[in-house]
Each structure stands twice: as structure tokens, then as C-alpha cells.
Chain A
Amino acid sequence: MKVMEGLLYSEDHEWVKVEGKVATIGISDFAQHQLGDIVFVELPEVADEIAKGEVFGVIESVKAASDSYLPVGGKVVEVNSALEDEPELINQDAYENWIVKIEMEDEGDLSGLMSPEAYEEFCSKEE
């Protein structure tokens, strides 16, 4: 399992990269491995306002559909529409292939996220 430096992580296995007020969000390598072959990604619409903890997308493996929960609340400013045609990109590189970019409403949301070290330990307990 790969954990990237320089990112923050949620207990729902999303990663967050912060650049100013914009948070780029994807799922972790641990999550893509747990899901297995990803066959469909449902993305939100640009300009959707989504609160922290709400479902922002759905990732489907062959076996099942899993909701993805937004780790930080705000407005969707960009979606990675390449995933609509090639959802398997997430399996190939979960950190390169982000899902959404959010303009954060409250940067305080970041305080509940984990460092790479803390996330690595969190995953080791889940396995």
C-alpha cells in the first residue's frame, strides 16, 4: 500500500491536497486496492455545493457501489471527467487521478484529517 507524502487523509480513505482555498480530492491507494477493479465513477456537477460528510460521488467496482464522502465542505470547482470514460485510471494510480476540486467553505474542516503517518497506522489497523 502506498501513502503519499504532502497529503491529508480521511477515515473514509480519501486524500486531500490543499492549495490555497482549493482542496483536490481523490481516494487512497488502500481504498482502490480494497475496491478492486473500478468500473464506474459518478461525479458531482461543477458548482454543486456539498457539505462536509455528504456523498459527493459513487465509485463502483465490479462487485458493488460505494459512496464517497466529502472530507471538506464547499463548492465543486472542477471534476476529473476523464474518469467517466476510464474509471480504471484510479486503479492505475490513485494519487495521480484525482476526483474533484473543492473551493473550501471552512478551512477548519482540514483539522479533522490525518497526516500520512497517522493514516498509514490507521490502515494497518483496518487490514
Chain B
Amino acid sequence: MSELKRTALYESHVKWGGKIIDFAGWELPVQYEGLVPEHHAVRNQAGLFDVSHMGEVSVKGAQATEFVQYLVTNDVKAMADEQVIYAQMCYEDGGIVDDLLVYKFDVDEYFLVINASNVDKDYAWMQLVAEDFEVTLVNQSPDFSELALQGPKAQEILQLLTETDLETVKFFFLKRDVVIDGVKALISRTGYTGEDGFEIYVAHEGAPKLWESILKAGEPFGIKPAGLGARDTLRFEAALPLYGQEIDKDISPLEAGLGFFVKLDNDDFVGRAALLKQKEEGLKRRLVGFEMSGKGIPRHDYRVLKDGRDIGFVTTGYKAPTLDRTVGFALVEAGYSSLGTTFDIEIRGKASAAEVVKKRFYQKQYKK
């Protein structure tokens, strides 16, 4: 049995009243005061998350750009220095290894941020793909703590702690060597909530100090420490996919509605041939948004039925805190994916009615 890992902020979570759970092998807070107040704090003021469990891989070398371009679905060659993009890594069959953020330091150096539950698998996959390239990969996952400061007040709060003009850090751009209350950090204007905000990477020893100073600086603004529970409801409302739910090794990015991040008419990448074929032949399944008109809450893996026939499954569902509507995502046969289509969700053996609606439940409030 493998031992649960603790982030450098474990003691901070206990101090702030975090309810600790096992998440992907890590002891992390699912909530502090409560999921719903934390969710609203991020939408209306600010929330601070410990996301140190996320993995990081450094890519360096003369062929770093060529390698990352071949590894992921999005166009890395089009990136400016200090830009960040979202992408997927696919297998040859078009299934997804993981989704990730690609940070470009310069043409010879990238920093890839991957999901905690996939770190070992991803790193092994990257090493395999890297065999044909002149690059050096380092799994830096054990080296960084990561904090996510999210919400409309995020910039104002963080600005109180740094001399770096945060206006200069644009949406999906990064800045290195930013000093925040004496702690040196890599920051990016990115996140997983649908709000403006920053993701902040620091060495472990600086993390507890930064945690406290951000919460203190944010106190007059109504900041709250926020747990994994709110992280999931926030990303869900903003239609941001989660590996293992909306995307997986058996689900292609096209089926998941992520075609925007897949550049099929560009350079070759792992999985491109399979995805091209899938596109030409037409998708058999599509991820849809739906709203319940019947009773109950749709949960991950519940079946979707049409006239009693199994046509797919729920990937995520909630009574969404910001919307006060019971909605979900489901991967269904493509013939049942157009807006207004009705089907049932099987909830504890009973069929409950639902209707296909737009996936964008919540309009993202990014500062572009």
C-alpha cells in the first residue's frame, strides 16, 4: 500500500480548518468552511487553492519546440515566449493521455503542467515520445508547490504583495522570478475556475508563508481558502474538462468538444492520423450539456437512456451553486446531441428527464 503524500501546505490546511481527504494519493482539503461559500467567494471575491499535487515536467534542448509540437494537439510553434497554452496529449488511437498547460520559456525550454493522478503515466509517455528528439526531460513534480489565487479580486490582492506590475501579465501568459512577499515565484494568469486569477509556482519552503500572506492581504476583500470540492464545481460550471470524467484514454478530444485545441491542419502530432480519420468519418459520440427537468442529481457514470435504450453516460453533474440549476455533461451517441433533444438519466434505477442545453453553463469572466 502506498502512503498518502502531503503537500508543503498540509499544516496550513489543518490550521485553517480544512477537511482532509485522499485525492489521487494526496492528503488535501475537500473544503474548509464549506463548498458552497468557497465557491461563491471565488465567483464574487477571491479564493486560494493549494494545487501542489499537480505535476510539472521541464523540457529543455535544441529540439524542445519540435518535441512539444509532436507531443500535444495544439500549435506550440505559434506560441510567443512566456505564453501559456492549453492542449491535450493523445495516444496514437486519439484517446487522451492527459490534458495539460504548456508554458513556453523560450524556443529551447518548456514547462508542462499535468494532472496529479497521471504524473507517472504521463512522464513515462513523454520519455517514450522524446526518444526521437534531442531533448532532456525532468520530472519536477516533487520540486514545486503550487497555489491558485482565483476570483475577480485576485489581481488586486496579489498586487499588494509584489512590485511586479500584474497588468503586464496578460491572460495565458507567464512571468518568472516574480517576488511575492519575499518569495520568488513563477506566475501565470491562468486557472481552473472560469474567473480571472493566477497560478503561482514556488519552492516548498516559501509556500506556507505565501499562503498566509495572500490570505491576510485578501482578508479585506473577502478571500477564503478553497478546497477541492469548490474547485470541481467551479471548473464544471465553466465547462472546463476533468481527466477521468469528460476526457479519458477512451475519449478523444474531438468527442469531448475540444476541437479548438486540436490543430489537425498543421504539423504532425501523436494521434493526428486517428483524429483526422475520426473527423472524416463523423463523430459517433459527443459531449453534451444537459439540464434536469426530472428529479434528482445526475452523477458521474449514471447512464443516459433514450426510450429505455442506453445511449451514453454522465461525465459530471451538479446542482450548480452559481446557477441554482441542476445540470450535467454527458457523452452520448452523436444523434442525440443537438440542443433541445430530450433523454433520461437513470438515477438509482429510475428514469429522470433531461434536455440537451448549451455546455457553457457559466460565462467565463477572464480578463483579456
Contact flags A41-58 to B (C-beta < 8 A → 1, else 0): 010000000000000001
Q: Are B35 and A40 in contact (CB under 8 A)?
A: no
Nearest CB in chain B to that of A37: its residue: B36
B297–A40 touching, CB < 8 Å:
yes
Q: Does the CB pair B297–A37 fall under 8 Å? A: no
B229: Cβ under 8 A from any A Cβ: yes
Select the stretch in A16-24, A59-67, A116-124 that faces chain B: A59-67
In the complex, which residue of chain B has the Cβ closest to the Cβ of A62? B35
Give complex CA distance A62, B326 in Å.
10
Closest to A38 in B: B319
**Interface size class of chain B, counting residues whose CB lies under 8 Å from the partner chain:** 10 to 19
The answer on a CB contact under 8 Å between B297 and A36 is no
Interface check B25, CB cutoff 8 A: no
What count of chain A residues pass the 8 Å CB interface test?
A: 13
- Kindly state the separation between the CA atoms of A60 and B299 in the bound complex, as whole angstroms: 11
Q: Is the interface of B mostly helix, strand, loop or mixed?
A: mixed
Looking at the assembled complex, report how far the CB atom of B177 sits from the nearest CB atom of chain A, in whole angstroms. 38
Asked whether any CB of chain B lies closer than 8 Å to the CB of A76, the reply is no
Taking CB atoms and an 8 Å cut-off, the chain B residues in 33-47 that contact chain A are 34-36
Contact check: which of A42, A58, A63, A84 meets B35 at CB < 8 Å?
Answer: A63
Indicate whether A100 reaches chain B with its CB closer than 8 angstroms. Answer: no
Are B36's CB and A40's CB within 8 A?
no
Chain A residues 58-106 with CB under 8 Å of chain B are: 58, 60-65, 84
B318 located at the interface, meaning its Cβ lies under 8 Å from any Cβ of chain A in the complex = yes
Query: Does B257 reach chain A (CB closer than 8 Å)?
Result: no
B233 interface residue per 8 A CB criterion: yes
> Is A27's CB within 8 Å of the partner chain B?
no
Q: Judge whether A62 and B296 touch: CB under 8 Å.
A: no
A interface, CB within 8 angstroms of B: 36-37, 39-40, 42, 58, 60-65, 84
Q: Which 5 A-B pairs have the closest CB atoms?
A: A39-B319, A37-B36, A60-B297, A40-B297, A62-B35
11 chain-A/chain-B pairs, Cβ below 8 angstroms: A36-B34, A37-B36, A39-B319, A40-B297, A42-B295, A60-B297, A60-B319, A62-B229, A63-B229, A64-B299, A84-B295
